[in-house]
Structure 1
Amino acid sequence: MDQSDWYSNAQKYWTSVQPTVNGMLGGFATVDPIDVKGSLNFIDEFVHGVRGVNNVMRQEPVISNKYACDCGAGIGRVTKNFLLRVPFQHVDLVEQAPNFVQQAKESYLRNEINQGTVKDVKCQGLQDFCPNPGKYDLIWCQWVLGHLTDDDLIGFFKRCMKGLKPHGLIGIKENNSSKDYVVDEEDSSVTRPNDALKRLYADAGLEVIKEEVQQGLPAGLFTVRMYMLRPIQSS
């Protein structure tokens, strides 16, 4: 498939999806609380640190909770139910489908936008997204990176690294195939095995500092892994 067709076909597919939580989750809206709980537990130590006996701080927080970016945000489910519950003080969203952006602005995140916790809602594909330098404590990407080709994914990561504050992190939550790349031509996506994703992280200059499998999802679905990444030069 031609690269331009790859992205345009994905756009056509998602434009046809209902802008609801159920639409964002492919008909599995019931997994939302399970997904959110897993993400909150995964990120907690990086934002709040780790306390031991007598509530003594055993590990200091790595990042502040000031500014996050939700990449491939859809209508803003991850922003509303996860990132703003961390809580991050401000969140930007990046989403390619205009109907999802409209729903986020006019309905799903209207209150959060009015309150100023949701700032910029950008209608743009991640293959073109270029964050402002040094803006974010966390850039979170969930169930979206399969829409990028390998080369574009590496380029996206390199741009994201420039968009991080000092000590900033990139969080990933993605399906994993068991062995080979699994291509879905209907929505122009690819599910990558764990080792392939890790090679792409390394090629972009990122290292994995935490990795965890999401528990509690229905049987028969792809394995879902969460990764916390940092630029290798900051280690």
Structure 2
Amino acid sequence: MHARSHNKYNSDGQFYKKAAKYWANVPATIDGVLGGYGHVSDIDIEGSKLFLNHILSLANPPNTKLALDCGAGIGRVSRNLLMSYFQKVDLVEQDEKFINTAKRLLSEDNTKLGTLYNVGLHNFKPEREYDVIWCQWVLGHLSDYDLIDFLMRCSKALTKNGLIIIKENICSTEEIEFDEDDYSVTRSFDLMMNIFEEANLHLIATNIQTGFPDGLYPVHMFALAPKK
């Protein structure tokens, strides 16, 4: 959680390698994927349910046939959230240990597990169309340019009324905050909005997660649709 301002990550060729190395040494557990904050998982899921319920109650809601869980880790969000709403859920996760754990945990008596993609988001190209593409606590591992490209690829992979939903830490400063442990960045609200604009996305709804312990970054949720 300790961070400092850093603006060279976009040009740092080691950015992705060092992040991958960090996660390769993290245990494939809820506490591991949440950086020691496994105790917030239930509160997090409840906040996500409220937001997703709101999205699905809109005038032209997304379908609930197929969702994509980006940076899925061990499948925590798929298992506890997305599979309650969608007929099938695909997962994309670059760490082999995590995705193997997800496959084991999610395939037990579960007909909702779709395709698992073992690849980093900066190299991921969606092969299907999705009703909801869910990105949580992972986009800080993409440089600004790669994040814009990723969102544009996702935008083209949405069904009619499909949405990209993002849930991320947001910093209060205008400077990007860089975490030297896991090689991720935390962006400001304004920078996120600029990135959405660059990716030609329109903000449908936003909310802030409540109930987290003091000392953590504020966590914002964004529902985005391609601009017409």
TM-score by length of 1: 0.89
- Specify which of 187, 190, 199 is matched with residue 185 of structure 2: 190
The answer to whether structure 1 residue 23 and structure 2 residue 21 are counterparts is no
Which residue number in structure 1 is paired with residue 145 of structure 2?
A: 151
**Matched residue count:** 218
Task: Find the aligned partners of 1:173 and 1:187 in 2 and give their Cα distance.
Answer: 18
Which residue number in structure 1 is paired with residue 112 of structure 2?
A: 117
Which residue number in structure 1 is paired with residue 136 of structure 2?
A: 142
Determine which structure has the larger helix proportion and give its number: 1
Map of 1:140-179 to 2, 5 A cutoff? 140-179=134-173
In the TM superposition, what is the alpha-carbon distance from 1:80 to its structure 2 partner?
Answer: 0.3
The one-character-per-residue Cα deviations of 1:6-64 (angstroms, maximum 9, x if unpaired) are 101000000100000111111111111100000000011322x2xxxxxxxxx545111
Deviant stretches of 4+, over 2 Å: 1-4
Give, as a single letter, the amino acid of the residue that structure 1 aligns with 2:202: E
Which residue number in structure 2 is paired with residue 52 of structure 1?
A: none
The answer to whether structure 1 residue 217 and structure 2 residue 215 are counterparts is no
Give, as a single letter, the amino acid of the residue that structure 1 aligns with 2:47: G
Give, as a single letter, the amino acid of the residue that structure 2 aligns with 1:143: W
In the TM superposition, what is the alpha-carbon distance from 1:142 to its structure 2 partner?
Answer: 0.1
**Where in structure 2 are there 5+ consecutive unaligned residues?**
1-8
TM-score by length of 2: 0.92
**Where in structure 1 are there 5+ consecutive unaligned residues?**
50-58
The one-character-per-residue Cα deviations of 1:119-161 (angstroms, maximum 9, x if unpaired) are 111100000111125x100000000000000000000000001
Task: Classify the secondary structure of the residue corresponding to 1:115.
Answer: coil
Task: Classify the secondary structure of the residue corresponding to 2:116.
Answer: strand
Which residue number in structure 2 is paired with residue 89 of structure 1?
A: 87
Greater RCO (CA < 8 Å, at least 6 residues apart): 2
Identical residues among aligned pairs (%): 44
Cα pair 2:177 2:187 within 8 Å, conserved: yes
In the TM superposition, what is the alpha-carbon distance from 1:167 to its structure 2 partner?
Answer: 1.3
Task: Classify the secondary structure of the residue corresponding to 1:127.
Answer: helix
Task: Find the aligned partners of 2:202 and 2:28 in 1 and give their Cα distance.
Answer: 34
